[in-house]
Amino acid sequence: MAGPFSVRHVTSISKINENTIWLTFDGNISGTPGQFVMAWLPEIGEKPFSIASMDPFSLLVVDVGPFSHAMHQLKPGDSLWIKGPLGHGFTLEGDHLLLVGGGYGSAPLLSLAKAARAQGKNVDVCLGAQTEQGLLLADEFRNVGCQVAFTTEDGSWGSKGVVTIIVEQALQDANIDMLYACGPVGMLSALAILCRAHHINYQLSWEAHMRCGMGLCGSCEVPQSFDLALPVGWLACYDGPVFIHRWDDRSNLSLYKTQ
Amino acid sequence: MALCSDRNISIHLGDILLRNPLVLASGVMGTSPTLLERIALAGAGAVTAKSCGPSPREGHPNPVMVAWEHGLLNAIGLTNPGAAEEVNLLIETKRLLKPLQVPVFASIFAGTEDEFGRVASLVAEGEPDLIEVNISCPNVHDDFGLPFAADAKSAAGVTRSVKAAVPGIPIAVKLAPNVPDIGRIARSVVDAGADVLTAINTMPGMVIDVNAAQPVLHNRTGGISGPALKPIALRCVAEIAKHVDVPIIGTGGVLTGQDAVAMLMAGATAVGVGSAFWYRGADAFKLINEELKAYMQVNGIHAVKDLVGRAL
């Protein structure tokens, strides 16, 4: 055994916007959309990243802190150490899907959209961001045959406002079987409330401060105050990052108390 | 399940009644009332909160934990909110776990003998059913010096300080495996007033990534837990059981009911469980309890206490 981490080499880097890159690595990774890896750069640190593409293995990296800044300095041929895929990803079900991405939350949704389109499913996508430049991967979603709608908080592209406005419209206009989302915690909480009101099944990918990535340290607990349907003591790295809620599914209740 | 339902697996840890012998080991998941509630709902006999010290600590930078061939290695670095805030966690946890009848244990660490006493009296306001005294964390040498567990005299000094600070609460002293004579250290902390012993903490270790030419953990070294720790823990528990009569929470590498039985046979009264969550999933406590009951059924054992010390 080589060790807990496997080494990947950067094969190409493409700039998505002024602080976001798409990093492609050698080889593929077998996992499901929504799963994540722990990425380690020795002497710099280790952070979780959702998998942006399985084949070839790719990550979407926004320059937001010391670690992602170091990732932005990687050149073709450079090494990245990864552990994973980890956690539980999205489950494809239903025929008409609505995907909601907030900012760089688009990353894990693109591979989900590809998988859904490959099975002939109808996929609508709602993307929201603060400004036009924060709307990521819109062309890539269109290229695989998704309908894409936009909102920006400053009104620089699409409707002005938050993404839940166009989501609510989409839920009224179409018979959606499952809503999938990834993005900021506030957006996910708002979507959970919206899905409750419309009785829509949903799969939300939660972001939390992950440390061990193995379900043992307790750092990444997502409280029930964020979504009343979450089981008590739910850990993003271990039980998630994707939380699946189906309104007719009571199977969780014997194991965990829900409120 | 029905086959095993007549097996009562409750135990007494001193005066504390546990519905089963499995105790959530400190440091695993015990960072919030709701996580501790989850563990209690998943079948723990008692839960131990993560260790808290005199003031808040962020802990070590990542990587803090890895799985290697025969176990886990961690150096979280005693991340905690400080004793004053820990009191609120304990009060809320007690409230949530009361209907489940699952006792709540606190865990404390500090830098000096006196400070141990001060942290204990602060934490006592949360009314934990027991206070575990962590004198053996292997991962914070820079801040707290060598673990007190390495020296019989200072281990006893910490024990006396805590016992004097919280006369009304039973205390368990958590011992380190990497000492020359664990029986002698056990003897000295029991003479100093320890009501229970927890054995053992993790074993110091290192994992190196040869491609990076670096230790994997940011802290360079960490504590080994999981399967690699089990035979070390069994030896330590058996050694302690020969030297003292107080109950032992036998902790280290217990993943299955058979492992729990072995720990009891080595002389433990209760059994700590932690890394099993990684190896067996969220149902670890339920699975281990069912396997323990099945062992008792097959072997005609009627009470868990009848297993204690059988292999000695």
Distance CA A90, CA A220 (A): 19
Least confident range from A162-166, B129-133, B163-167: namely A162-166
Band the pLDDT of B7: cuts 50, 70, 90.
Answer: confident
Whether A82 shows a pLDDT value over 90: the answer reads yes
The whole model's pTM is what? 0.92
Q: Largest alpha-carbon pair distance within chain B?
A: 55
**pLDDT at site B62:** 94
Report residue A216 as tokens.
């043992």
**pLDDT at site A248:** 83
**Which SS3 state, helix, strand or coil, does residue B48 take?**
strand
Q: Helices in chain B by DSSP H: which ranges?
A: 33-41, 83-97, 113-123, 141-144, 152-165, 182-191, 230-243, 257-265, 276-280, 284-299
Q: How far is CA A228 from the centre of its chain?
A: 20
Which of A214, A233, A256 is opposite residue B278, by nearest beta carbon? A214
Mean pLDDT of all residues belonging to chain B:
94
Distance CA B42, CA B39 (A): 5
| One-letter identity of residue B198 | T
Question: For residue range A201-236, what is the model confidence (pLDDT) as tens digits?
Answer: 999 999 999 999 999 999 999 999 999 999 999 999
Whether A256 shows a pLDDT value over 50: the answer reads no
Whether A255 shows a pLDDT value over 50: the answer reads no
**pLDDT at site A133:** 87
Whether A241 shows a pLDDT value over 90: the answer reads yes
Q: Is A65 on the interface with B (CB under 8 A)?
A: no
Percentage of residues of chain B with pLDDT beyond 90? 89
- Catalytic member of B4, B52, B137, B236: B137
**Total number of residues shown for chain A:** 259
Distance CA B310, CA B268 (A): 10
Contact A212 B74 (CB under 8 A): yes
Query: Minimal Cα–Cα distance from A114 to chain B, Å?
Result: 31
Band the pLDDT of B142: cuts 50, 70, 90.
Answer: low
| One-letter identity of residue B290 | E
Distance CA B46, CA A1 (A): 36
What is the set of domains in chain A, with CATH numbers? 6-86 (2.40.30.10), 96-254 (3.40.50.80)
Band the pLDDT of A76: cuts 50, 70, 90.
Answer: very high
Q: Is B137 a catalytic residue?
A: yes
Which of A43, A217, A223 is opposite residue B65, by nearest beta carbon? A217
**pLDDT at site B205:** 96
Question: For residue range B102-122, what is the model confidence (pLDDT) as tens digits?
Answer: 999 999 999 999 999 999 999
Q: Is A259 on the interface with B (CB under 8 A)?
A: no
Cα of first residue to Cα of last residue in chain A, in angstroms, is: 44
Band the pLDDT of B6: cuts 50, 70, 90.
Answer: low
Band the pLDDT of A253: cuts 50, 70, 90.
Answer: very low
Band the pLDDT of A104: cuts 50, 70, 90.
Answer: confident
Q: Which residue of A has its CA nearest to B36?
A: A233
Least confident range from B138-147, B178-187, B192-201: namely B138-147
Percentage of residues of chain B with pLDDT beyond 70? 96
**pLDDT at site B1:** 45
- Calculate the dihedral angle through the C-alpha atoms of B250, B254, B259, B265, rounding to the nearest 10 degrees: 0
Q: How far is CA A108 from the centre of its chain?
A: 4
Distance CA B269, CA B23 (A): 11
- Supply angle C-alpha B208, B211, B217, rounded to 5: 35
Distance CA A39, CA B63 (A): 9
**Which SS3 state, helix, strand or coil, does residue B122 take?**
helix
Band the pLDDT of A63: cuts 50, 70, 90.
Answer: very high
Which of A1, A46, A239 is opposite residue B69, by nearest beta carbon? A1
Band the pLDDT of A134: cuts 50, 70, 90.
Answer: confident
C-beta separation of A110 from A139 below 8 A = no
**pLDDT at site B26:** 95
DSSP state of B307: G
Q: Is A214 on the interface with B (CB under 8 A)?
A: yes
C-beta separation of A234 from A240 below 8 A = yes
What string of H, E and C letters represents the secondary structure of chain A?
CCCCCEEEEEEEEEEEECCEEEEEECCCCCCCCCCEEEEEECCCEEEEEECCECCCCEEEEECCCHHHHHHHCCCCCCEEEEEEEECECCCCCCCEEEEEEEHHHHHHHHHHHHHHHHCCCEEEEEEEECCHHHCCCHHHHHHCCCEEEEEECCCCCCEECCHHHHHHHHHHHCCCCEEEEECCHHHHHHHHHHHHHHCCCEEEECCCCCCCCCCCCCCCEECCCCCCCCCCCEECCCCCEEEEECCCCCHHHHCCCCC
**pLDDT at site A257:** 39
Q: Which residue of B has its CA nearest to A218?
A: B29
A240 vs A234, B127, B272, CA distance in Å? 8, 33, 26
Q: Which residue of A has its CA nearest to B100?
A: A257
What is the set of domains in chain B, with CATH numbers? 2-307 (3.20.20.70)
Average pLDDT (B243-265) is 98
